[in-house]
Amino acid sequence: MPDIITLAHGSGGKLTHNLINDIFARHLANDILKQGDDAARFDLPGGRTAFTTDSFVISPVFFRGGDIGKLAVCGTVNDLAASGASPLYLTCGFIIEEGLPLDELERIAASMGHTAKECGVKIVAGDTKVVQKGAADKLFINTSGIGVIASGIEVSGSYAKPGDRVIVTGNIGDHGCTILLEREGLDISSDIQSDCAPLNSMLEEVFSITSDIHVLRDPTRGGLATTLNEIAVQSGVGIQLYENQIPVRDEVRGICELLGMDPLYMANEGKMIVIAPEGPADRILEILRKNRYGMNSRIIGEVVKAPAGRVVMKTVTGGNRVVDMLVGDQLPRIC
Amino acid sequence: MNNFIDDFRNSEIARKMGSMLSSYRGRPVTIMEVCGTHTMAIFRYGIRALLPDGIRLISGPGCPVCVTPSYYVHAAVTLSQRDDVIITTFGDMMRIPATAGDGSRGESLLSRKAQGNDIRIVYSPLDSLKIAAENPGKKVVFLSVGFETTVPVIALSVLKANEAGLDNFSVLSANKTVPEALKVLSVDSEIGVDGYLYPGHVSAIIGTGFYDEIAERYGIPGIVAGFEPLDVMHAIISLASNINNKKIVVENQYCRVVTREGNPVALEKMNEVFEARDAVWRGIGCIPGSGLQVRDKYSKHDAWKVFDLRQEAGNEPKGCLCGEVLKGKRTPKDCGLFGKACTPENPVGSCMVSSEGTCAAYYKYGGI
């Protein structure tokens, strides 16, 4: 077998089979995937089901703290977890640009297998297509996932209520900042790495002490600011933030200052926003902080009645400012 | 660096200063923040909300993207459509629409990029040199906008290109300098500035000597300030007090960075490559000696000459008040397009495009 992906790997012939057996089956194997039929068959436990899909097109495919494979598993697992579901099964589709070194594909598949194991999910079906050079950027991955929601759990972006506390499960902006530095080849030395992580088991720990949680959402693209705006609009409430409570790593703050970016709008891949009534908020915080992915969890604000649909932040000066959604991309400024 | 950030964002001191500001009882004063970075900081930290009725802050023309005339955007969009050209630019320039002949919204670099033209966002003009070296068959044009803060590194990239024989690198200069524009604003009685909040980073390059001239010739005091909340609040308090006490002086509150002489090395590079020329400021018009052009000695790196492009005044978008806003005569809320036809997603005027533009700042952080 040549050591790069060629169009022949996507032809459905012998090379395709080799690719599936040598790489995907080896790293992702489980009893359902082994069925080897056109569709995976399985029974779901009773109760309500959550079902979601996401596509991953990140450049570079390897970055500090993760890779596109880990991201593709965590992203879909976290979307399920944010619906209050325990993720069970994932599918994955690969669109590969010809010329991708096989060892890179293997590292990515291994990373997916490893992450799926950590999450306790099985990858039960998959598909591979190879496209001509230039028709994709190395590798695109789509994952879909299915999970079940335990009885008593009712979360939605439209359930935030005045008086609720807003918790974020750790430092914001690490992923966005890491990718920015790597993509642009900026000559800044730093120790930051992507926070890419699966959050399902942490949230299951929280649900084991209370189901009194109104909203869960992971602040990925668009960052904390955009996600909170979505929630404020969906719930028809205002959100009041306290700038001095929002956890941001010093390096991230420094890099954002230099480049004219705002950490509030930087992507996260291993953080969750938890909105819950004041009563259980402190206990939730305690549980989150015991988990390796939630050690720096903080209450960063509260849900208020007005102004409905807006996020307002009390700044360090004591003044207020509106925190709007991200428009377009954050673009580096001139001075 | 981080210590500097924390020290100048100290919550407790900030709140004390906030209440000092709010309790101002002097005569009504109008202070112009010359620079877009100050405009942003004032909104970002909610400082405008703390101001008493007696202190009016108006935003000056200090956002480089905002004062770049529409013919420049038109030239950049036209150049980007050539197959032999790679455009490199700071991100801010991407969204400004060129203005079509009838005053309607034309194309932007962002839309040209989506249509396949080779336009690349860079963080430093020096990144363009690498691109030029890797693409010897193409002409790499850097969109050179910005004030004294940005010009020295652009000059450095021209000097390096010249040394390395990278003849396929050129800059399309619309660079501007602050001093001459300040003189024009100072004599405009309609604006009625009582004091200037001078930009810390520009001053770090040019020094503070020129501001003394403004104080002496036009009787307008000023203060050089940094961009952290404590910097800005302290500067406003001091300046308002000086205006009240008729103390016509220039204070340097940002002495941790700014000296009277500025940065002689940076100034030397700038003067080696660039010379003064008359320049059109969008919305304000032509200000003699306020722009920079590449000296003849380096003409092979001057995109205006390399591509034989004309610099002529073009159309401004219909109904757009950017010019009045840039001079501080009107606020964005006076403009019929603001927040309706003109939003950050679909900007009409340049003040809505740059994150430092007055309209963008009002739109993003205003509303409460």
Is B364 close to A334, i.e. CB distance below 8 A? no
Distance CA B183, CA B190 (A): 14
| A105, A120, A149 - which closes a domain | A149
Residue burial A140-151, b: 16+ Cβ < 10 Å; e: rest? bbbbbbbbbbee
- The answer to whether residues B112 and B80 touch, using CB atoms and an 8 Å cutoff, is yes
* Nearest by Cα to B292 from B198, B205, B166: B205
| A184 close contact with B: CB closer than 8 A | yes
Closest-CA distance, A314 to chain B, in angstroms, reads 8
Longest Cα–Cα distance of chain B, Å, equals 65
Taking CA–CA distances from B40, the nearest residue in chain A reads A260
- The answer to whether residues A124 and A24 touch, using CB atoms and an 8 Å cutoff, is no
Give the containing element (helix H, strand E) for B239: helix B229-244
pLDDT for the residue B326? 78
Instruction: Return all residues near A167 (Cβ < 8 A) that are at least 6 apart.
Output: A273, A274, A275, A276, A281, A284, A285, A288, A297, A298, A299, A300
Domain co-membership, A137 together with A226: no
Chain A partners of B151 at a C-beta cutoff of 8 Å?
Answer: none
Mean pLDDT across chain B = 89
pLDDT for the residue B44? 84
Closest-CA distance, B29 to chain A, in angstroms, reads 21
Mean pLDDT of B110-128: 93
* Residue owning tokens 């219909």: B318
Distance CA B206, CA A332 (A): 24
Is B91 close to A244, i.e. CB distance below 8 A? no
Domain limits, chain B: 70-177+264-306
Nearest beta carbon to residue B47 from set A317, A331, A335:
A317
Edge-first strand order for the sheet with B85-89 is B119-121, B85-89, B139-144, B169-173
Interface mutation vs chain A, best among B92, B94, B177, B352, most A CBs within 10 Å:
B92
Quick one: B70-177+264-306 is in which CATH superfamily?
HypD, alpha/beta domain 2 (3.40.50.11740)
Domain co-membership, A311 together with A266: yes
Residues 199-218 of A with CB under 8 A from B: none
Task: Name residue A327's amino acid.
Answer: V
Closest-CA distance, A192 to chain B, in angstroms, reads 15
Residues 222-281 of A with CB under 8 A from B: 244, 250, 253-254, 257, 259-260
Domain co-membership, A201 together with A126: no
Least confident residue range of A121-130, B340-349, B359-368: B359-368
Is B201 close to A335, i.e. CB distance below 8 A? yes
DSSP structural state of residue B105? B
Mean pLDDT of B352-356: 75
Distance CA B250, CA B280 (A): 28
What DSSP string describes A223-254?
HHHHHHHHHHHHHT-EEEEEGGGS---HHHHH
Distance CA B141, CA A235 (A): 48
Asked if the ipTM is above 0.85, the reply is no
* Nearest by Cα to B187 from B335, B287, B331: B287
Per-residue pLDDT of chain A (335 residues; tens, 9 = 90+): 458 999 989 888 888 888 888 899 999 999 999 888 889 999 998 889 999 999 999 999 999 999 999 999 999 999 999 999 999 999 999 999 999 999 999 999 999 999 999 999 999 999 999 999 999 999 999 999 999 999 999 999 999 999 999 999 999 999 999 998 888 777 777 889 999 999 999 999 999 999 999 999 999 999 999 999 999 999 999 999 999 999 999 999 888 887 778 899 999 999 999 999 999 999 999 999 999 999 999 999 999 998 999 999 998 888 888 888 876 666 655 54
B1 pLDDT band, cuts 50/70/90, is very low
Interface mutation vs chain A, best among B206, B231, B355, B362, most A CBs within 10 Å:
B355
pLDDT for the residue A233? 97
* Nearest by Cα to B126 from B156, B148, B146: B156
User: Domain for residue A60, yes or no?
Assistant: yes
pLDDT for the residue B237? 94
* Residue owning tokens 């900042």: A177
What DSSP string describes B32-50?
EEEEHHHHHHHHHTT-GGG
Q: B352 in helix, strand or coil?
A: helix
Q: What is the pairing mode between strands A273-276 and A215-217? A: antiparallel
Task: Name residue A15's amino acid.
Answer: L
| A102, A119, A149 - which closes a domain | A149
Task: Name residue A102's amino acid.
Answer: L
Closest-CA distance, B50 to chain A, in angstroms, reads 6
B171 pLDDT band, cuts 50/70/90, is very high
Chain A partners of B36 at a C-beta cutoff of 8 Å?
Answer: 335
User: Domain for residue A159, yes or no?
Assistant: no
Distance CA B63, CA B90 (A): 13
- The answer to whether residues B146 and B119 touch, using CB atoms and an 8 Å cutoff, is no
pLDDT for the residue B2? 47
Is A317 close to B355, i.e. CB distance below 8 A? no
Q: Quote the number of domains for chain A.
A: 2
- The answer to whether residues A92 and A128 touch, using CB atoms and an 8 Å cutoff, is no
Domain co-membership, A22 together with A103: yes
| A316 close contact with B: CB closer than 8 A | yes
State yes or no: pLDDT of B102 exceeds 80.
no
pLDDT for the residue A2? 53
Q: Which two tokens stand for residue B63?
A: 């956002």
pLDDT tens by residue, A145-165: 999 999 999 999 999 999 999
Is A318 close to B366, i.e. CB distance below 8 A? no
User: Domain for residue A38, yes or no?
Assistant: yes
Parent domain of A102: 7-149
Is A184 close to B123, i.e. CB distance below 8 A? yes
Instruction: Return all residues near B255 (Cβ < 8 A) that are at least 6 apart.
Output: none
Distance CA B60, CA B36 (A): 8
Domain co-membership, A132 together with A188: no
Distance CA A2, CA A22 (A): 13
Beta-ladder partners of B29: B55
Chain A partners of B10 at a C-beta cutoff of 8 Å?
Answer: 316
Closest-CA distance, B307 to chain A, in angstroms, reads 24
User: Domain for residue A158, yes or no?
Assistant: no
Domain co-membership, A121 together with A205: no
User: Which position has the higher pLDDT, B326 or B199?
Assistant: B199
pLDDT tens by residue, B204-227: 999 999 999 999 999 999 999 998
Is B46 close to A184, i.e. CB distance below 8 A? no
Residues 3-62 of A with CB under 8 A from B: none
CATH number at residue A67: 3.30.1330.10
User: Domain for residue A154, yes or no?
Assistant: no
Is B123 close to A312, i.e. CB distance below 8 A? no
Is A321 close to B14, i.e. CB distance below 8 A? no
Taking CA–CA distances from B47, the nearest residue in chain A reads A319
* Nearest by Cα to B89 from B136, B146, B36, B165: B146
pLDDT tens by residue, B229-255: 889 999 999 999 999 999 999 999 988
Q: A274 in helix, strand or coil?
A: strand
State yes or no: pLDDT of B113 exceeds 50.
yes
| A96, A120, A149 - which closes a domain | A149
Is B14 close to A259, i.e. CB distance below 8 A? no
User: Domain for residue A332, yes or no?
Assistant: no
Chain A partners of B233 at a C-beta cutoff of 8 Å?
Answer: 317
CATH number at residue A194: 3.90.650.10
For residue A98, what are the CA distances in angstroms to A8, A10, A108, A135? 9, 9, 16, 9
Q: Is the dihedral of CA A29, A35, A36, A37 positive or negative?
A: negative
pLDDT tens by residue, B37-86: 898 888 888 888 888 989 998 888 888 888 888 889 999 999 999 999 99
Beta-ladder partners of B169: B140
